[in-house]
Structure 1
Amino acid sequence: MLDRLKSAFDPYILALLSTVAFASVLPARGMGANLFDHAADAAIVMLFFLHGAKLSREAIVAGAGHWRLHVATMGTTFALFPLLGLGLAALPGLPALVASGMLFLTLLPSTVQSSIAFTSIARGNVAAAVCSASFSNLAGIFITPLLASLLMGGAGASMSGSSIEKIVLQLLLPFALGHGLRPVIGGFVSRHKAMIGYVDRGSILLVVYTAFSAAVVEGLWTHLPLWELGLIAGLSIVLLAVVLAATWGLGAMLGFERADRIVLLFCGSKKSLASGVPIAGVLFPAAQVGVVILPLMLFHQIQLMACAVIARGLAQDEK
Structure 2
Amino acid sequence: MLARLFPDRFVPVLLATILLASLLPVRGAVVPVAQGVSTAAIVFLFFLNGVRLPRDEVLHGIRNWKLQGGALAFCFGIMALLGLTAQWITMPFLPATLALGFLFLGILPSTVQSATAASSMAGGNVAASVVAAALLNLGGVLLSPLLFATLAGAEGEIHGEAVLRIVAILLLPFVAGQLVQRWLRPWVLANRGLATFMDRTAIAIAVYVAFSAAVVGGIWNLLDAREIGIVFAAVAILLAASFGGAWGFGTLLKLARPDRITLLFSGAQKSIAVGAPLAATLFPPATAGVVLVPILVYHIAQLILSAWIAPGLARHEEV
Per the TM superposition, whether the score is higher than 0.5 is yes
- Measure how far apart 1:18 and its partner are: 2.0
Residue among 76, 79, 87 paired with 1:78: 76
| Cross-structure match for 1:176 | 175
Q: For 1:123 and 1:8, locate their aligned partners in 2 and report how far apart those are by CA, in whole Å.
A: 21
Does residue 146 in structure 1 map to residue 146 in structure 2? yes
Root mean square deviation, CA, Å: 1.7
Q: For 2:147, give the aligned amino acid.
A: L
Question: Does structure 2 retain, via aligned residues, the 8 Å contact 1:19–1:209?
Answer: yes
Q: For 2:247 and 2:22, locate their aligned partners in 1 and report how far apart those are by CA, in whole Å.
A: 40
Residue among 20, 45, 48 paired with 1:47: 45
Q: For 1:263 and 1:176, locate their aligned partners in 2 and report how far apart those are by CA, in whole Å.
A: 26
Question: Does structure 2 retain, via aligned residues, the 8 Å contact 1:53–1:181?
Answer: yes
Does residue 116 in structure 1 map to residue 116 in structure 2? yes
Does residue 105 in structure 1 map to residue 105 in structure 2? yes
- Measure how far apart 1:5 and its partner are: 7.5
Task: Could you tell me which runs of 5 or more consecutive residues in structure 2 were left unpaired when the two chains were aligned.
Answer: none
- Measure how far apart 1:147 and its partner are: 1.4
- 2:259 counterpart SS class: helix
Q: For 2:81, give the aligned amino acid.
A: L
Question: Does structure 2 retain, via aligned residues, the 8 Å contact 1:5–1:309?
Answer: no
- Measure how far apart 1:13 and its partner are: 2.3
Map 1:135-214 onto structure 2 (within 5 A): 135-155=135-155, 157-214=156-213
| Cross-structure match for 2:133 | 133
- Between the two proteins, the alignment pairs up a number of residues equal to 316
- 1:30 counterpart SS class: coil
Q: Deviations over 1:205-251 (max 9, x none)?
A: 11112112211221111112233222212211111111222221221
| Cross-structure match for 1:315 | 314
Q: For 2:99 and 2:108, locate their aligned partners in 1 and report how far apart those are by CA, in whole Å.
A: 15
Task: Could you tell me which runs of 5 or more consecutive residues in structure 1 were left unpaired when the two chains were aligned.
Answer: none
TM-score, normalised relative to structure 2? 0.94
Question: Does structure 1 retain, via aligned residues, the 8 Å contact 2:119–2:126?
Answer: yes
TM-score, normalised relative to structure 1? 0.94
- Measure how far apart 1:98 and its partner are: 3.1
Question: Does structure 2 retain, via aligned residues, the 8 Å contact 1:62–1:127?
Answer: no
Q: For 1:166, give the aligned amino acid.
A: R
- Measure how far apart 1:182 and its partner are: 0.9
| Cross-structure match for 1:14 | 12
Q: For 1:28 and 1:191, locate their aligned partners in 2 and report how far apart those are by CA, in whole Å.
A: 36
Q: For 2:263 and 2:125, locate their aligned partners in 1 and report how far apart those are by CA, in whole Å.
A: 10
Indicate the percent of aligned positions where both proteins have the same amino acid: 40
Q: For 2:204 and 2:92, locate their aligned partners in 1 and report how far apart those are by CA, in whole Å.
A: 32
- Measure how far apart 1:4 and its partner are: 10
- Measure how far apart 1:289 and its partner are: 0.9
Q: 83-92 or 39-48: which moved more? A: 83-92
